[in-house]
Amino acid sequence: MIRIENINKRFKKLKALDNISASFEKGQVISLIGPNGSGKTTLIKSILGMVKPDSGKIYFNNEHINGGFSYRKDIGYMPQIGRYPDNMKVGQLFSMLKNIRNEPDENLDNELIREFNLCTIFEKPMRTLSGGTRQKVSAAIAFLFNPSVLILDEPTAGLDPLSSEILKEKIIREKGKGKLILITSHILSDLDELTTHVMYIQEGKIQFLKNIETLREDTGEIKLGKAIARIMKGEDPTGNFISEFLK
């Protein structure tokens, strides 16, 4: 569904993405993990066309995105820090997006709006919302248009346990529908029950992209957190763990 070929991105001195190639298919839930500043968000933003890579190509459904925009209708994006027009009320934000997208109501996915009870804050301006509530709004927007690809950047950071659980269940339901989901998170225990593949990035390079089962076998750990910790501590991470997906 999404194919990335040799993309490079440099921000002045910092090499944010170093020759990254990967391929993601329908039904996969891919966890992007790596230390802070390793290039996860830059990769996501490149897929969305917000950051323009210096070289390399990104294909969406076998079409080179090449500065186009219409492919984004199939992507739901939840940013790490949701920033919204301050004066706009929550309800207005939703109605504006619906108006711009022009989707018929029956195609919309209002589940998260209902489950997070966002209707009660529809009259509040965005600037008065707390960080967690903002996250809920971001999540509801990402799922609203029923996209076939979901890109979630730190979805559970800042959410209370209850909301975090609601969101996780929603992700699992969408995964069941055969959608492609990309998640970055530092809370590995959250990813444990969701993920099918793990992509580990460090200093802009992919260290490995592998199936969670293989990863568990290779490290002998059940918990994702421990498995990753073992790799980070242990052997040369590039050696043994070259992914079967990068052949």
Name the residues that contact another protein, by CB under 8 A.
11, 45, 48-52, 67, 69-73, 75, 77, 79, 83-88, 96-97, 99-101
Task: Convert 181-220 to b/e letters by CB count within 10 Å (16 or more is b).
Answer: bbbbbeebebbeebbebbbbbbebbbbbbbbbeebeeebe
Encoded tokens for 201: 């990035």
Q: How far is the CB of 139 from another protein (least distance, A)?
A: 13
Nearer to another protein, 71 or 241 (CB): 71
Q: How far is the CB of 12 from another protein (least distance, A)?
A: 11
List Cβ neighbours of 8 (8 Å cut-off, separation of 6 or more).
15, 17, 18, 19, 20, 53, 54, 55, 56
Q: How far is the CB of 93 from another protein (least distance, A)?
A: 8
Nearer to another protein, 72 or 226 (CB): 72
Q: How far is the CB of 33 from another protein (least distance, A)?
A: 22
Nearer to another protein, 69 or 222 (CB): 69
Nearer to another protein, 11 or 119 (CB): 11
Encoded tokens for 165: 């659980």
Q: Contact 105/158 with Cβ under 8 angstroms?
A: no
